[in-house]
């Protein structure tokens, strides 16, 4: 595990703490003793084991509404290059603790069990809550244990940060008049460090659907087969806290998209208005990419092409932010081919989650695409079979999707007791 601290005034205190104990909390307060006022803590994390956290940290009051809290702990999670997870814990003080803010990090290893990972997270949470507890009367009951350790010896990684993944899946189902068969395989290799990111993946898909249709006493079999293959690679070099440069390389084929073969190299450059070190909280990135497409088609296209070479450019603006009031992710992508600016597309995608009041929150997800670049469409009219079985892509000028959800939680703001009887 690895812990990195970010707060000047907090560093000296937090680095001494490995274990906390509060003897005497169960005793009855007598006259003359300080009044115990535990801070109320709201943990903002959808993937954390809250039952375990509540059972292990007993020196604060956990609440389930951020508006009732003294300390808002905003936890964001990102995957690391070796398959582990990096937790960024943002401690945001409120009310009497408005002047105490700091950030801690906990990094788990790919080989860590779920129990080891949650224990490490709880240890960092305890460290982060110390300044808030110290500001209350509970500070008189605080005991600090410090175990001096030598710096860990450098670890020699025989894999040199490489992580590989191999997957294979399939399904088979059927009835008297129909049956389905599908198979999917994938292979990936990734290497991620502070300076470079390299990801490559190979995937294949095969699907067969057979229907027995009886008409005028004659049984006929209708078969739909879909196949696809793709090889995609990404290489990125970090220049500084705001600039990155790299590119993609793709090779693919698809019966659905009328492609026998597609070759697509695309160099790119990106600028992030916020430092990449703040990416778990906020990002505003502009990505510019120039892509070359060499296409060999299965059937002649609506533009009378059996093969062609095309050059195009893409500009993508992405904004992401996670704050106590909620979180937002939005991306706008524009693309066009250089030989014909009318062949273009525009894609807008947004997800917004808002905490409106106490336990009330609302979520919006929307996507809209303006499509004018389907150069791969097969020439001629599609049969009813092609349309119903989705054997070939259909011409369209747009696509969209929208989802809305609302939730409201009410009742006790504490409800932090852990009782595992009879399960959840």
- What are the residue ranges spanned by the domains of the chain? 2-24+34-145, 162-408
pLDDT at position 129 is 92
- Identify the CA nearest to 255 among candidates 315, 323, 206: 206
pLDDT band at 414 (very low <50, low <70, confident <90, very high): low
The domain 162-408 is placed in CATH, from the list 1.10.20, 2.40.50, 2.40.160, 3.40.1620, at 2.40.160
pLDDT digits (tens, 9 = 90+) for 232-243: 999 999 999 899
Count of Cβ atoms closer than 10 Å to residue 214 Cβ: 9
As a whole number, the mean pLDDT across the chain is 83
Determine the pLDDT at residue 1: 43
Q: What is the pLDDT of residues 30-44, one digit of tens each?
A: 444 444 578 999 999
- Count Cα atoms within 13 angstroms, Cβ side, for 212: 9
pLDDT of residue 26 exceeding 80: no
d(Cα 91, Cα 132) in Å, to the nearest integer?
Answer: 10
Summarised one tens digit per residue, pLDDT across range 321-377 is: 887 788 899 999 999 999 999 999 999 999 998 888 767 889 999 999 999 999 988
Averaged pLDDT, 232-256: 94
pLDDT band at 220 (very low <50, low <70, confident <90, very high): confident
pLDDT score at 125: 93
Please report which confidence band the pLDDT of residue 308 belongs to, taking 50, 70 and 90 as the band edges.
Answer: very high
The distance in angstroms from the start CA to the end CA of the chain is 30
């Amino acid at each position: 595990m690895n812990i990195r601290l970010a707060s000047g005034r907090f560093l000296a205190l937090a680095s001494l703490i490995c274990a906390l104990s509060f003897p005497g909390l169960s005793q009855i307060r007598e006259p003359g003793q300080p009044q115990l006022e535990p801070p109320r803590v709201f943990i903002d994390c959808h993937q954390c084991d809250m039952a375990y956290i509540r059972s292990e940290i007993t020196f604060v009051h956990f609440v389930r509404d951020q508006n009732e809290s003294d300390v808002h702990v905003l936890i964001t999670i990102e995957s690391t290059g070796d398959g582990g997870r990096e937790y960024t814990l943002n401690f945001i003080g409120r009310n009497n603790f408005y002047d105490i803010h700091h950030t801690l990090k906990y990094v788990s290893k790919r080989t860590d069990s779920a129990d080891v990972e949650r224990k490490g997270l709880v240890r960092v949470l305890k460290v982060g809550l110390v300044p808030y507890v110290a500001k209350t009367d509970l500070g008189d009951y605080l005991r600090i244990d410090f175990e001096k350790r030598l710096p860990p010896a450098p670890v020699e990684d025989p894999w040199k940060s490489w992580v590989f993944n191999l997957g294979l899946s399939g399904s088979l189902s059927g009835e008297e008049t129909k049956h389905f068969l599908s198979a999917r395989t994938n292979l990936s290799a990734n290497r991620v460090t502070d300076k470079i990111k390299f990801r490559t993946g190979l995937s294949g898909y095969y699907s067969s659907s057979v229907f027995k249709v009886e008409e005028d006493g004659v049984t006929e079999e209708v078969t739909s087969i879909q196949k696809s293959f793709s090889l995609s690679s990404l290489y990125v070099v970090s220049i500084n806290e705001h600039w990155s440069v790299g590119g993609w390389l793709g090779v693919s084929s698809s019966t659905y998209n009328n492609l026998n073969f597609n070759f697509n190299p695309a160099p790119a450059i990106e600028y992030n208005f916020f430092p990449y070190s703040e990416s778990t909280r906020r990002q505003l990135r502009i990505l510019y990419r120039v892509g070359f497409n060499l296409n060999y088609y299965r059937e002649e296209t609506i533009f009378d092409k059996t093969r062609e070479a095309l050059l195009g450019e893409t500009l993508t603006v992405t904004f992401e932010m996670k704050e106590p009031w909620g979180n937002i992710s939005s991306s706008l992508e524009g693309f066009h081919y250089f030989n014909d600016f009318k062949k273009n597309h525009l894609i807008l995608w947004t997800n917004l989650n808002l905490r409106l009041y106490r336990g009330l929150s609302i979520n919006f997800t929307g996507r809209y695409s303006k499509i004018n670049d389907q150069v791969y469409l097969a020439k001629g009219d599609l049969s009813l079979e092609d349309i119903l079985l989705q054997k070939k892509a259909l011409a369209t000028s747009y696509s969209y999707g929208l989802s809305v959800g609302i939730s409201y939680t009410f009742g006790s703001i504490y409800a932090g007791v852990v009782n595992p009887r009879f399960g959840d």
